[in-house]
Amino acid sequence: MPHSQIPVITIDGPTASGKGTVAHRVADRLKFHYLDSGALYRLTALSAIQHATPLNDEHALAKLAEHLPVKFENGEIFLNNKNVSNAIRAEEVGTLASKIASLPALRQALFALQLGFRKGPGLVADGRDMGTVIFPNAQLKVFLTASAEARAQRRYKQLIDKGFSASMEDLLCDLKARDDRDTHRAIAPLVPAEGAHILDTSNMTADEAVEQVLKWYAHPKG
């Protein structure tokens, strides 16, 4: 199958909208490859912390991103063959990732890396600019959204379940700040892609959201 014909489903949305869970389950159901693009920014942030890379050194950060030894396997994320699935979910890493994501050189460095995940039989890619920038010709584009309060509650549960301490008030504040940064940045702002299906998951379970995405994929004209 020609590379350009390999099916791609993009699932974009703000932090804690549920896009990662939904995208991963959709990929499992379709036996497609999975790309967590947000993890690439978190992995770059974690790598920058580990290498003590100055956050104002855009060139050095881009170099880290360009050669990220990343692997997604069985729902786990590996950096240099070390499982960092929990480490990249720490709030410090997430906040840093959101800040460096606006750097043009860093985004360019990750562009080719993300395109490389498009392999047969197909790909489900989640992030903030998958349908607008990375895969604008995807067969199906979905934009997941949810209220800030619903997203803060999900993030709180996620962190507590993983053994991190968390404050609901701080999380809500942080989510709103990230939303503002993501939607107002000059490069690849967080907006629904042209032709994207909007899915508000505030009052939906992950399973319900997955079924809706699969229905759209099976019946694109529906």
HEC-encoded secondary structure of 196-222: CEEEECCCCCHHHHHHHHHHHHHCCCC
b/e string for 80-109 if b means 16 or more Cβ within 10 A? eeeebeebbbbbebbebbbebbbbeebbeb
CA quadruple 9, 15, 17, 23: dihedral sign: positive
Q: Hey, is 9 helix, strand or coil?
A: strand
- Residues flagged as binding site: 13-21
Q: Hey, is 26 helix, strand or coil?
A: helix
Whether residue 199 contacts residue 211, with contact meaning beta carbons closer than 8 Å, is answered with no
- Residues flagged as binding site for ATP: 13-21
